[in-house]
Structure 1
Amino acid sequence: MINCPKVSVIIPVFNGGQFLGRCLSSITNQSYKNIEIIVINDGSTDNTKAICKNYSQNDQRIKVIHKDNEGVSTARNIGLDIATGDYIYFADADDYVLQDSIENFINKAMTSSAEIVVAEYYIASDSHKMKISPKEFNDKKSFLCSILSGTNHSALWNKLFKKGLFDNIRFNNNIFYMEDKVLLVEILSRIQVNIEILYTPVYIYWQNQDSITNLKDKSILKQFEIYTFLINELNYYDSDKDIMESFSYGFYKSMYFVLRNIELSFLKQAITIIYDLQKELSSIGLHDPNNMIHKFVLLSIKLPPSLSYNVIKKFRKGLNMSTKTITYYKKYKLL
Protein backbone atom coordinates (compact mmCIF):
# COMPACT_ATOMS: atom_id res chain seq x y z
CA MET A 1 0.00 0.00 0.00
CA ILE A 2 1.29 3.46 -0.89
CA ASN A 3 1.37 5.59 2.27
CA CYS A 4 2.18 8.87 0.59
CA PRO A 5 0.95 8.73 -3.01
CA LYS A 6 2.15 11.31 -5.48
CA VAL A 7 -0.33 13.83 -6.89
CA SER A 8 0.11 15.43 -10.30
CA VAL A 9 -1.43 18.91 -10.38
CA ILE A 10 -2.20 19.99 -13.96
CA ILE A 11 -2.66 23.70 -14.68
CA PRO A 12 -3.39 24.91 -18.24
CA VAL A 13 -2.91 28.65 -18.67
CA PHE A 14 -3.52 31.13 -21.47
CA ASN A 15 -2.73 34.79 -20.78
CA GLY A 16 -3.21 34.16 -17.07
CA GLY A 17 -0.52 36.47 -15.78
CA GLN A 18 -2.93 38.48 -13.65
CA PHE A 19 -3.75 35.55 -11.35
CA LEU A 20 -1.21 32.80 -12.11
CA GLY A 21 1.17 33.76 -9.30
CA ARG A 22 -1.62 33.49 -6.74
CA CYS A 23 -2.60 30.07 -8.08
CA LEU A 24 0.96 28.70 -8.10
CA SER A 25 1.66 30.02 -4.61
CA SER A 26 -1.44 28.26 -3.30
CA ILE A 27 -0.21 24.95 -4.72
CA THR A 28 3.48 25.19 -3.86
CA ASN A 29 2.47 25.99 -0.27
CA GLN A 30 0.25 22.95 0.14
CA SER A 31 0.59 21.07 3.41
CA TYR A 32 0.88 17.87 1.34
CA LYS A 33 4.35 17.89 -0.24
CA ASN A 34 4.49 14.84 -2.53
CA ILE A 35 3.21 16.63 -5.61
CA GLU A 36 4.37 17.55 -9.07
CA ILE A 37 3.02 20.71 -10.67
CA ILE A 38 2.62 20.64 -14.45
CA VAL A 39 1.98 24.04 -16.00
CA ILE A 40 1.05 24.09 -19.69
CA ASN A 41 1.48 27.56 -21.14
CA ASP A 42 -0.93 27.43 -24.07
CA GLY A 43 0.58 30.15 -26.29
CA SER A 44 0.23 33.07 -23.86
CA THR A 45 1.26 36.51 -25.09
CA ASP A 46 1.31 38.27 -21.71
CA ASN A 47 3.77 37.79 -18.83
CA THR A 48 2.73 34.18 -18.18
CA LYS A 49 6.05 32.77 -19.44
CA ALA A 50 8.07 34.97 -17.08
CA ILE A 51 5.90 33.98 -14.09
CA CYS A 52 6.33 30.29 -14.94
CA LYS A 53 10.11 30.73 -15.16
CA ASN A 54 10.27 32.50 -11.81
CA TYR A 55 8.27 29.86 -9.96
CA SER A 56 9.96 26.86 -11.61
CA GLN A 57 13.41 28.21 -10.68
CA ASN A 58 12.37 28.27 -7.02
CA ASP A 59 10.53 24.93 -6.84
CA GLN A 60 11.87 21.82 -8.55
CA ARG A 61 8.43 20.18 -8.41
CA ILE A 62 7.21 22.53 -11.15
CA LYS A 63 7.40 21.42 -14.79
CA VAL A 64 6.56 23.98 -17.45
CA ILE A 65 5.54 23.19 -21.02
CA HIS A 66 5.37 26.08 -23.52
CA LYS A 67 3.31 25.44 -26.65
CA ASP A 68 1.27 27.13 -29.35
CA ASN A 69 -2.31 27.98 -28.49
CA GLU A 70 -4.58 24.98 -29.19
CA GLY A 71 -7.11 25.17 -26.36
CA VAL A 72 -7.57 23.84 -22.85
CA SER A 73 -8.38 20.25 -23.87
CA THR A 74 -5.09 19.78 -25.74
CA ALA A 75 -3.19 21.46 -22.91
CA ARG A 76 -4.66 19.16 -20.27
CA ASN A 77 -3.97 16.11 -22.44
CA ILE A 78 -0.29 17.07 -22.58
CA GLY A 79 -0.33 17.29 -18.79
CA LEU A 80 -1.89 13.82 -18.54
CA ASP A 81 0.69 12.38 -20.94
CA ILE A 82 3.63 13.45 -18.79
CA ALA A 83 2.06 13.09 -15.34
CA THR A 84 3.84 10.59 -13.05
CA GLY A 85 1.54 10.81 -10.05
CA ASP A 86 -0.78 8.20 -8.59
CA TYR A 87 -3.59 10.78 -8.56
CA ILE A 88 -4.51 13.67 -10.84
CA TYR A 89 -5.77 17.07 -9.76
CA PHE A 90 -6.75 19.87 -12.16
CA ALA A 91 -6.63 23.56 -11.25
CA ASP A 92 -7.42 26.68 -13.27
CA ALA A 93 -4.86 29.46 -13.36
CA ASP A 94 -7.27 32.22 -12.31
CA ASP A 95 -8.42 30.40 -9.14
CA TYR A 96 -6.56 29.08 -6.11
CA VAL A 97 -6.40 26.04 -3.85
CA LEU A 98 -6.80 26.06 -0.07
CA GLN A 99 -3.68 25.07 1.88
CA ASP A 100 -4.77 21.64 3.17
CA SER A 101 -6.78 20.67 0.10
CA ILE A 102 -4.57 18.00 -1.44
CA GLU A 103 -3.86 16.48 1.97
CA ASN A 104 -7.61 16.29 2.67
CA PHE A 105 -8.24 14.81 -0.77
CA ILE A 106 -5.60 12.11 -0.29
CA ASN A 107 -6.77 11.23 3.22
CA LYS A 108 -10.31 10.75 1.91
CA ALA A 109 -9.17 8.74 -1.12
CA MET A 110 -6.97 6.46 0.97
CA THR A 111 -9.47 5.80 3.76
CA SER A 112 -12.39 5.16 1.40
CA SER A 113 -10.55 3.57 -1.56
CA ALA A 114 -12.21 6.17 -3.77
CA GLU A 115 -11.11 6.65 -7.36
CA ILE A 116 -12.90 10.01 -7.53
CA VAL A 117 -13.28 12.33 -4.56
CA VAL A 118 -15.77 15.22 -4.92
CA ALA A 119 -15.28 18.11 -2.49
CA GLU A 120 -16.87 21.34 -1.30
CA TYR A 121 -15.62 24.65 -2.68
CA TYR A 122 -16.16 28.40 -2.48
CA ILE A 123 -17.46 30.74 -5.16
CA ALA A 124 -15.85 34.13 -4.55
CA SER A 125 -15.46 37.60 -6.00
CA ASP A 126 -14.44 41.00 -4.67
CA SER A 127 -17.82 41.34 -2.95
CA HIS A 128 -18.86 37.87 -1.75
CA LYS A 129 -17.82 34.34 -0.81
CA MET A 130 -20.22 31.39 -0.73
CA LYS A 131 -19.60 27.74 0.15
CA ILE A 132 -21.01 25.10 -2.21
CA SER A 133 -21.50 21.50 -1.08
CA PRO A 134 -21.95 18.58 -3.49
CA LYS A 135 -25.45 17.19 -3.64
CA GLU A 136 -25.51 13.70 -2.19
CA PHE A 137 -25.58 10.66 -4.46
CA ASN A 138 -25.82 6.94 -3.81
CA ASP A 139 -23.65 5.42 -6.50
CA LYS A 140 -21.97 6.03 -9.85
CA LYS A 141 -25.27 6.15 -11.73
CA SER A 142 -26.84 8.76 -9.44
CA PHE A 143 -23.66 10.84 -9.64
CA LEU A 144 -23.74 10.63 -13.46
CA CYS A 145 -27.39 11.75 -13.37
CA SER A 146 -26.45 14.70 -11.16
CA ILE A 147 -23.72 15.77 -13.59
CA LEU A 148 -26.03 15.50 -16.60
CA SER A 149 -28.85 17.41 -14.93
CA GLY A 150 -26.55 20.06 -13.51
CA THR A 151 -27.41 19.21 -9.90
CA ASN A 152 -23.68 18.72 -9.28
CA HIS A 153 -21.05 20.89 -10.93
CA SER A 154 -19.04 19.18 -13.67
CA ALA A 155 -15.94 21.29 -12.99
CA LEU A 156 -12.74 19.33 -12.40
CA TRP A 157 -11.17 21.54 -9.72
CA ASN A 158 -13.27 20.16 -6.84
CA LYS A 159 -12.39 16.57 -7.74
CA LEU A 160 -9.39 14.28 -7.27
CA PHE A 161 -8.96 11.42 -9.76
CA LYS A 162 -7.05 8.14 -9.64
CA LYS A 163 -4.63 8.32 -12.54
CA GLY A 164 -5.70 4.93 -13.92
CA LEU A 165 -9.04 6.44 -14.96
CA PHE A 166 -7.18 8.17 -17.78
CA ASP A 167 -5.49 5.07 -19.18
CA ASN A 168 -7.89 5.01 -22.15
CA ILE A 169 -9.66 8.36 -21.85
CA ARG A 170 -8.52 11.84 -22.83
CA PHE A 171 -10.14 15.23 -23.37
CA ASN A 172 -11.67 15.72 -26.80
CA ASN A 173 -9.34 18.17 -28.56
CA ASN A 174 -12.23 19.45 -30.67
CA ILE A 175 -14.28 20.58 -27.68
CA PHE A 176 -13.45 23.97 -26.21
CA TYR A 177 -16.45 24.61 -23.93
CA MET A 178 -17.73 22.38 -21.11
CA GLU A 179 -15.00 19.89 -21.94
CA ASP A 180 -14.96 18.93 -18.25
CA LYS A 181 -18.56 17.70 -18.45
CA VAL A 182 -17.80 15.61 -21.53
CA LEU A 183 -14.79 14.01 -19.85
CA LEU A 184 -16.74 13.17 -16.68
CA VAL A 185 -19.59 11.62 -18.65
CA GLU A 186 -17.10 9.48 -20.57
CA ILE A 187 -15.49 8.21 -17.37
CA LEU A 188 -18.81 7.57 -15.62
CA SER A 189 -20.47 5.88 -18.60
CA ARG A 190 -17.51 3.60 -19.40
CA ILE A 191 -15.84 2.70 -16.09
CA GLN A 192 -16.98 1.19 -12.80
CA VAL A 193 -15.69 3.69 -10.27
CA ASN A 194 -15.98 4.34 -6.54
CA ILE A 195 -16.88 7.97 -5.77
CA GLU A 196 -16.87 9.64 -2.37
CA ILE A 197 -17.74 13.12 -1.06
CA LEU A 198 -15.30 15.22 0.95
CA TYR A 199 -17.26 17.62 3.14
CA THR A 200 -14.42 20.11 3.33
CA PRO A 201 -13.86 23.11 1.01
CA VAL A 202 -10.79 22.71 -1.19
CA TYR A 203 -10.93 25.47 -3.77
CA ILE A 204 -11.72 29.13 -4.40
CA TYR A 205 -13.54 29.52 -7.72
CA TRP A 206 -12.92 33.16 -8.54
CA GLN A 207 -15.54 35.03 -10.56
CA ASN A 208 -14.06 38.07 -12.26
CA GLN A 209 -16.14 40.66 -14.11
CA ASP A 210 -15.19 39.31 -17.56
CA SER A 211 -16.58 35.85 -16.79
CA ILE A 212 -19.81 37.38 -15.46
CA THR A 213 -20.20 39.53 -18.59
CA ASN A 214 -19.73 36.49 -20.83
CA LEU A 215 -22.91 34.97 -19.37
CA LYS A 216 -24.86 37.26 -21.70
CA ASP A 217 -22.87 37.39 -24.93
CA LYS A 218 -23.10 34.84 -27.72
CA SER A 219 -20.25 32.76 -26.27
CA ILE A 220 -22.83 31.01 -24.05
CA LEU A 221 -24.20 29.40 -27.22
CA LYS A 222 -21.03 27.28 -27.35
CA GLN A 223 -22.42 24.99 -24.66
CA PHE A 224 -24.85 23.49 -27.17
CA GLU A 225 -21.94 22.06 -29.14
CA ILE A 226 -21.57 19.23 -26.62
CA TYR A 227 -25.09 17.83 -26.49
CA THR A 228 -24.98 15.71 -29.65
CA PHE A 229 -21.67 14.24 -28.49
CA LEU A 230 -23.08 13.47 -25.03
CA ILE A 231 -26.28 11.80 -26.21
CA ASN A 232 -24.35 9.61 -28.64
CA GLU A 233 -22.01 8.60 -25.81
CA LEU A 234 -24.94 7.69 -23.58
CA ASN A 235 -26.75 5.80 -26.33
CA TYR A 236 -23.59 3.81 -27.14
CA TYR A 237 -23.44 2.56 -23.55
CA ASP A 238 -27.19 1.77 -23.43
CA SER A 239 -28.03 4.30 -20.75
CA ASP A 240 -31.35 3.73 -18.99
CA LYS A 241 -34.41 5.96 -18.60
CA ASP A 242 -33.18 7.78 -15.48
CA ILE A 243 -29.91 8.76 -17.16
CA MET A 244 -31.61 9.93 -20.35
CA GLU A 245 -34.16 11.95 -18.37
CA SER A 246 -31.31 13.62 -16.48
CA PHE A 247 -29.61 14.42 -19.79
CA SER A 248 -32.86 15.87 -21.12
CA TYR A 249 -33.43 17.99 -18.02
CA GLY A 250 -29.88 19.35 -18.32
CA PHE A 251 -30.46 20.27 -21.95
CA TYR A 252 -33.74 22.07 -21.26
CA LYS A 253 -32.22 23.87 -18.28
CA SER A 254 -29.45 25.15 -20.56
CA MET A 255 -32.07 26.14 -23.15
CA TYR A 256 -33.99 28.14 -20.55
CA PHE A 257 -30.87 29.80 -19.13
CA VAL A 258 -29.61 30.92 -22.52
CA LEU A 259 -32.93 32.20 -23.84
CA ARG A 260 -33.54 34.12 -20.62
CA ASN A 261 -30.07 35.67 -20.30
CA ILE A 262 -28.51 36.14 -23.72
CA GLU A 263 -28.36 39.69 -25.09
CA LEU A 264 -31.39 40.54 -27.23
CA SER A 265 -29.18 41.10 -30.27
CA PHE A 266 -28.32 37.36 -30.21
CA LEU A 267 -31.76 36.03 -29.23
CA LYS A 268 -32.91 35.14 -32.76
CA GLN A 269 -29.67 33.28 -33.38
CA ALA A 270 -30.09 31.40 -30.10
CA ILE A 271 -33.67 30.39 -30.94
CA THR A 272 -32.59 28.99 -34.31
CA ILE A 273 -29.68 27.02 -32.86
CA ILE A 274 -31.73 25.56 -30.01
CA TYR A 275 -34.70 24.69 -32.25
CA ASP A 276 -32.52 22.81 -34.74
CA LEU A 277 -30.59 21.00 -31.99
CA GLN A 278 -33.73 20.01 -30.07
CA LYS A 279 -35.17 18.54 -33.25
CA GLU A 280 -31.99 16.56 -33.90
CA LEU A 281 -31.68 15.29 -30.32
CA SER A 282 -35.35 14.27 -30.16
CA SER A 283 -34.74 11.84 -33.00
CA ILE A 284 -31.98 10.06 -31.04
CA GLY A 285 -33.32 9.91 -27.48
CA LEU A 286 -34.05 13.35 -25.99
CA HIS A 287 -37.12 13.16 -23.72
CA ASP A 288 -39.87 15.76 -23.61
CA PRO A 289 -39.54 18.24 -20.73
CA ASN A 290 -41.40 17.63 -17.47
CA ASN A 291 -40.89 21.12 -16.07
CA MET A 292 -43.77 23.47 -16.97
CA ILE A 293 -41.52 26.47 -17.73
CA HIS A 294 -39.31 24.30 -19.92
CA LYS A 295 -42.43 23.09 -21.75
CA PHE A 296 -43.57 26.66 -22.35
CA VAL A 297 -40.17 27.76 -23.66
CA LEU A 298 -39.94 24.71 -25.94
CA LEU A 299 -43.38 25.40 -27.39
CA SER A 300 -42.37 29.04 -27.89
CA ILE A 301 -39.30 28.23 -30.00
CA LYS A 302 -41.45 26.00 -32.23
CA LEU A 303 -43.59 28.95 -33.28
CA PRO A 304 -42.84 30.83 -36.54
CA PRO A 305 -39.52 32.69 -36.05
CA SER A 306 -40.84 36.25 -35.69
CA LEU A 307 -43.61 35.15 -33.32
CA SER A 308 -41.21 32.98 -31.33
CA TYR A 309 -38.87 35.94 -30.85
CA ASN A 310 -41.66 38.21 -29.61
CA VAL A 311 -43.11 35.61 -27.23
CA ILE A 312 -39.75 34.86 -25.62
CA LYS A 313 -38.89 38.57 -25.47
CA LYS A 314 -42.12 39.29 -23.56
CA PHE A 315 -41.57 36.23 -21.37
CA ARG A 316 -38.11 37.55 -20.42
CA LYS A 317 -39.54 40.97 -19.62
CA GLY A 318 -42.17 39.43 -17.36
CA LEU A 319 -39.58 37.35 -15.52
CA ASN A 320 -37.34 40.39 -15.04
CA MET A 321 -40.24 42.43 -13.65
CA SER A 322 -41.12 39.62 -11.24
CA THR A 323 -37.51 39.39 -10.08
CA LYS A 324 -37.32 43.15 -9.46
CA THR A 325 -40.60 43.07 -7.53
CA ILE A 326 -39.42 40.24 -5.28
CA THR A 327 -36.09 42.02 -4.71
CA TYR A 328 -37.97 45.21 -3.75
CA TYR A 329 -40.26 43.42 -1.31
CA LYS A 330 -37.32 41.60 0.31
CA LYS A 331 -35.29 44.83 0.56
CA TYR A 332 -38.05 46.58 2.48
CA LYS A 333 -39.00 43.42 4.41
CA LEU A 334 -42.47 43.24 2.89
CA LEU A 335 -42.09 39.51 2.23
Structure 2
Amino acid sequence: MEGKISVIVLAHGDEKELIRCVDRILNQNYKDYELIVVSTQKNSELKEKVNSNDRMTLYIKDADKLEDLRAYALSKASGDKILFIEPNDFLIDENSITTLDEVYTQKNADLLLNSFMTLKDGNFYFGNGDVQHILEIEFLFYQCQNVEFRKLGGSLIKRSLFDEVVSDDLVKSDQVLLNSLSKKLKILFLIIKISMYMMEQMEINCLN
Protein backbone atom coordinates (compact mmCIF):
# COMPACT_ATOMS: atom_id res chain seq x y z
CA MET A 1 0.00 0.00 0.00
CA GLU A 2 1.50 3.30 -1.09
CA GLY A 3 1.98 6.20 1.29
CA LYS A 4 3.59 9.54 0.69
CA ILE A 5 7.37 9.45 0.50
CA SER A 6 9.53 12.53 0.93
CA VAL A 7 12.61 12.05 -1.25
CA ILE A 8 15.44 14.23 0.05
CA VAL A 9 18.55 15.24 -1.89
CA LEU A 10 21.13 17.39 -0.10
CA ALA A 11 23.64 19.28 -2.23
CA HIS A 12 26.48 20.82 -0.24
CA GLY A 13 28.86 22.10 -2.89
CA ASP A 14 29.31 21.49 -6.60
CA GLU A 15 27.75 18.09 -7.34
CA LYS A 16 28.34 17.40 -11.01
CA GLU A 17 25.73 14.62 -11.19
CA LEU A 18 22.94 16.45 -9.32
CA ILE A 19 20.81 17.12 -12.41
CA ARG A 20 20.98 13.46 -13.46
CA CYS A 21 20.01 12.43 -9.93
CA VAL A 22 16.99 14.77 -9.93
CA ASP A 23 15.87 13.69 -13.41
CA ARG A 24 15.84 10.02 -12.38
CA ILE A 25 13.71 10.85 -9.34
CA LEU A 26 11.21 12.92 -11.32
CA ASN A 27 10.87 10.00 -13.76
CA GLN A 28 9.66 7.58 -11.08
CA ASN A 29 6.31 5.82 -11.53
CA TYR A 30 5.56 5.87 -7.80
CA LYS A 31 2.34 7.85 -7.43
CA ASP A 32 2.70 9.69 -4.14
CA TYR A 33 6.04 11.34 -3.48
CA GLU A 34 7.58 14.77 -3.10
CA LEU A 35 11.14 15.72 -3.98
CA ILE A 36 12.94 18.10 -1.64
CA VAL A 37 16.30 19.42 -2.82
CA VAL A 38 18.28 21.57 -0.40
CA SER A 39 21.41 23.16 -1.84
CA THR A 40 23.96 25.73 -0.81
CA GLN A 41 24.26 27.00 -4.37
CA LYS A 42 21.80 28.54 -6.81
CA ASN A 43 21.24 26.51 -9.95
CA SER A 44 19.19 27.88 -12.85
CA GLU A 45 18.55 24.42 -14.32
CA LEU A 46 17.16 23.16 -11.01
CA LYS A 47 14.97 26.25 -10.74
CA GLU A 48 13.52 25.50 -14.18
CA LYS A 49 12.71 21.96 -13.11
CA VAL A 50 10.89 23.26 -10.04
CA ASN A 51 8.78 25.52 -12.25
CA SER A 52 7.71 22.55 -14.40
CA ASN A 53 7.29 19.90 -11.67
CA ASP A 54 4.82 20.46 -8.85
CA ARG A 55 6.29 17.53 -6.90
CA MET A 56 9.66 19.24 -6.54
CA THR A 57 10.69 21.93 -4.07
CA LEU A 58 14.09 23.62 -4.06
CA TYR A 59 15.56 25.43 -1.07
CA ILE A 60 18.78 27.44 -1.19
CA LYS A 61 20.31 27.59 2.26
CA ASP A 62 23.68 28.72 3.55
CA ALA A 63 25.14 26.04 5.84
CA ASP A 64 28.56 25.02 7.10
CA LYS A 65 27.73 21.32 7.24
CA LEU A 66 25.70 18.88 5.18
CA GLU A 67 24.02 17.75 8.40
CA ASP A 68 22.50 21.21 8.84
CA LEU A 69 20.88 20.88 5.43
CA ARG A 70 19.50 17.50 6.47
CA ALA A 71 17.80 18.87 9.58
CA TYR A 72 16.30 21.69 7.51
CA ALA A 73 15.01 19.28 4.84
CA LEU A 74 13.37 17.07 7.46
CA SER A 75 11.52 20.10 8.83
CA LYS A 76 10.03 20.62 5.35
CA ALA A 77 9.11 16.99 4.67
CA SER A 78 5.41 16.08 4.70
CA GLY A 79 5.62 12.37 3.85
CA ASP A 80 5.19 9.52 6.32
CA LYS A 81 8.39 7.96 4.94
CA ILE A 82 11.74 9.54 4.11
CA LEU A 83 14.02 8.37 1.29
CA PHE A 84 17.51 9.87 1.17
CA ILE A 85 19.37 9.97 -2.14
CA GLU A 86 22.88 11.38 -2.45
CA PRO A 87 23.35 13.88 -5.31
CA ASN A 88 26.09 11.84 -6.99
CA ASP A 89 23.97 8.67 -6.98
CA PHE A 90 20.98 7.86 -9.16
CA LEU A 91 18.01 5.54 -9.35
CA ILE A 92 18.53 2.83 -11.94
CA ASP A 93 15.03 2.86 -13.44
CA GLU A 94 11.53 4.28 -13.02
CA ASN A 95 10.45 1.39 -10.75
CA SER A 96 13.11 1.90 -8.08
CA ILE A 97 10.99 3.69 -5.45
CA THR A 98 8.03 1.39 -6.11
CA THR A 99 10.19 -1.70 -5.59
CA LEU A 100 11.74 -0.34 -2.40
CA ASP A 101 8.36 0.65 -0.97
CA GLU A 102 6.83 -2.74 -1.78
CA VAL A 103 9.48 -4.50 0.32
CA TYR A 104 9.13 -1.89 3.08
CA THR A 105 5.36 -2.48 3.18
CA GLN A 106 5.45 -6.27 2.86
CA LYS A 107 7.91 -6.57 5.74
CA ASN A 108 6.15 -3.94 7.86
CA ALA A 109 9.50 -2.23 8.30
CA ASP A 110 10.37 0.94 10.19
CA LEU A 111 13.74 1.25 8.48
CA LEU A 112 14.91 -0.30 5.23
CA LEU A 113 18.48 0.00 4.02
CA ASN A 114 19.45 -0.71 0.45
CA SER A 115 22.48 -2.59 -0.82
CA PHE A 116 24.65 -0.64 -3.26
CA MET A 117 25.80 -1.30 -6.78
CA THR A 118 29.16 0.44 -7.04
CA LEU A 119 30.93 1.79 -10.11
CA LYS A 120 34.68 1.89 -9.55
CA ASP A 121 37.54 1.88 -12.06
CA GLY A 122 35.10 1.11 -14.86
CA ASN A 123 33.66 -2.00 -13.18
CA PHE A 124 30.39 -2.63 -11.35
CA TYR A 125 30.44 -4.28 -7.93
CA PHE A 126 27.29 -5.62 -6.34
CA GLY A 127 26.61 -5.62 -2.61
CA ASN A 128 25.98 -8.80 -0.66
CA GLY A 129 22.84 -7.63 1.08
CA ASP A 130 19.73 -9.75 1.46
CA VAL A 131 16.37 -9.25 3.13
CA GLN A 132 16.79 -10.01 6.79
CA HIS A 133 15.86 -8.97 10.31
CA ILE A 134 18.54 -7.09 12.21
CA LEU A 135 18.24 -6.76 15.96
CA GLU A 136 19.02 -3.39 17.51
CA ILE A 137 21.73 -4.96 19.69
CA GLU A 138 23.50 -6.12 16.49
CA PHE A 139 23.48 -2.70 14.86
CA LEU A 140 26.98 -1.56 15.85
CA PHE A 141 28.46 -4.82 14.58
CA TYR A 142 26.74 -4.37 11.21
CA GLN A 143 27.93 -0.76 11.02
CA CYS A 144 31.52 -1.95 11.20
CA GLN A 145 30.97 -4.64 8.58
CA ASN A 146 28.64 -2.97 6.04
CA VAL A 147 28.84 0.48 4.46
CA GLU A 148 25.04 0.53 4.05
CA PHE A 149 24.71 0.80 7.83
CA ARG A 150 26.74 4.01 7.85
CA LYS A 151 25.13 5.96 5.01
CA LEU A 152 21.67 7.49 4.79
CA GLY A 153 21.75 7.38 0.99
CA GLY A 154 19.35 4.66 -0.15
CA SER A 155 17.55 4.47 3.21
CA LEU A 156 13.76 4.40 3.43
CA ILE A 157 12.81 5.44 6.96
CA LYS A 158 9.58 5.91 8.87
CA ARG A 159 9.20 9.67 9.35
CA SER A 160 8.09 9.50 12.98
CA LEU A 161 11.40 7.90 14.01
CA PHE A 162 13.14 11.23 13.50
CA ASP A 163 10.79 12.85 16.00
CA GLU A 164 11.97 10.42 18.68
CA VAL A 165 15.73 10.96 18.45
CA VAL A 166 17.47 13.76 20.34
CA SER A 167 17.67 16.90 18.23
CA ASP A 168 21.49 17.04 18.44
CA ASP A 169 21.73 13.72 16.56
CA LEU A 170 19.88 15.23 13.59
CA VAL A 171 22.94 17.37 12.84
CA LYS A 172 25.54 14.65 13.38
CA SER A 173 27.04 12.21 10.89
CA ASP A 174 24.96 9.65 9.00
CA GLN A 175 26.48 6.89 11.10
CA VAL A 176 25.58 8.51 14.41
CA LEU A 177 22.04 9.32 13.26
CA LEU A 178 21.42 5.80 11.97
CA ASN A 179 22.67 4.39 15.25
CA SER A 180 20.27 6.66 17.11
CA LEU A 181 17.37 5.69 14.83
CA SER A 182 18.09 1.99 15.34
CA LYS A 183 17.29 2.38 19.04
CA LYS A 184 13.77 3.57 18.17
CA LEU A 185 12.77 0.71 15.88
CA LYS A 186 9.59 -0.98 17.03
CA ILE A 187 9.14 -3.67 14.36
CA LEU A 188 12.21 -4.80 12.45
CA PHE A 189 15.28 -3.73 10.59
CA LEU A 190 16.04 -4.83 7.06
CA ILE A 191 18.75 -4.67 4.44
CA ILE A 192 17.80 -5.56 0.89
CA LYS A 193 19.76 -6.35 -2.26
CA ILE A 194 18.00 -4.33 -4.94
CA SER A 195 21.08 -2.52 -6.30
CA MET A 196 19.13 0.66 -6.88
CA TYR A 197 22.08 3.02 -6.78
CA MET A 198 25.36 3.48 -8.58
CA MET A 199 28.21 5.25 -6.83
CA GLU A 200 31.63 6.36 -7.98
CA GLN A 201 33.28 5.33 -4.71
CA MET A 202 32.21 4.11 -1.32
CA GLU A 203 33.79 4.55 2.09
CA ILE A 204 34.55 1.26 3.84
CA ASN A 205 36.11 2.40 7.10
CA CYS A 206 34.25 1.81 10.35
CA LEU A 207 34.14 5.15 12.11
CA ASN A 208 34.10 5.62 15.85
The two structures have a TM-score, normalised by structure 2, of: 0.86
Deviations 1:23-42 (A, max 9, x none): 10111111213110001112
After superposition, residues 243-258 of structure 1 pair within 5 angstroms as: 250=206
The one-letter code sitting in structure 2 at the alignment partner of 1:150 is: Q
**Equivalent position of 1:159 in the other structure:** 155
Offset of residue 61 of structure 1:
0.5
Larger helix share, 1 or 2: 1
TM-aligned CA deviation for residue 147 of structure 1: 3.5
CA contact (8 A) 2:170 2:177 kept: no
Residue 81 of structure 2: aligned partner: 87
1:141-184 CA-partner distances (Å, limit 9, x unpaired): 35413344233531112321011111132564664xxx110001
Partner of 2:135: 140
Secondary structure of the residue that 1:21 maps to in structure 2?
A: helix
| Highest RCO, 1 vs 2 (Cα 8 Å, sep ≥ 6) | 2
Alignment of 1:208-247 (within 5 A): none
1:40 counterpart residue number: 38
Indicate the residue corresponding to 1:30 in structure 2: 28
Shift of 1:195: 1.5
1:120 is matched with 115
Residue 48 of structure 2 corresponds to residue 50 of structure 1 = no
Q: What TM-score, normalized to structure 1?
A: 0.55
With over 3 angstroms needed to count, the CA separation of the structure-2 counterparts of 1:120 and 1:139, relative to structure 1, is closer
Instruction: Name the structure 2 match of 1:13.
Output: 11
TM-superposed deviation, 1:51: 2.5
SS at match of 1:129: strand
CA apart distance, 1:135: 6.5
- Where in structure 1 are there 5+ consecutive unaligned residues? 216-222, 224-249, 255-335
Distance in 2 between residues matched to 1:17 and 1:129, nearest whole Å: 21
Aligned amino acid, residue 140 of structure 2: C
Corresponding position of 1:204: 198
**Counterparts in 2 of 1:143 and 1:57: CA distance versus 1, 3 Å:** farther
Aligned to 1:75: 69
Identity %: 21
> For the Cα contact (< 8 Å) 2:161–2:184, is it kept in 1?
no
On the 8 A contact 1:6/1:36 being kept in 2, the answer is yes
* Residues 85 and 163 in structure 1, CA contact (< 8 A), matched pair in contact too: yes
TM-superposition CA deviations, 1:216-253 (whole Å, max 9, x none)? xxxxxxx9xxxxxxxxxxxxxxxxxxxxxxxxxx56xx
**Number of residue pairs the alignment of both structures matches:** 205
Alpha-carbon spacing, 1:34–1:194, altered in 2? closer, same or farther (3 Å): same
Distance 1:146 1:32, change over 3 A: farther
CA distance in 2, matches of 1:72, 1:39: 12
**Cα distance, 1:57 vs. partner?**
1.4
2:197 pairs with 1:168: no
- Structure 2 CA distance for aligned equivalents of residues 144 and 127 of structure 1: 32
For residues 173 and 141 of structure 1, the distance between their equivalents in structure 2, rounded to whole angstroms, comes to 19
2:104 corresponds to which residue?
109
Distance in 1 separating the partners of 2:192 and 2:146: 17
Tell me if structure 2 keeps the 8 A contact 1:56–1:62: yes
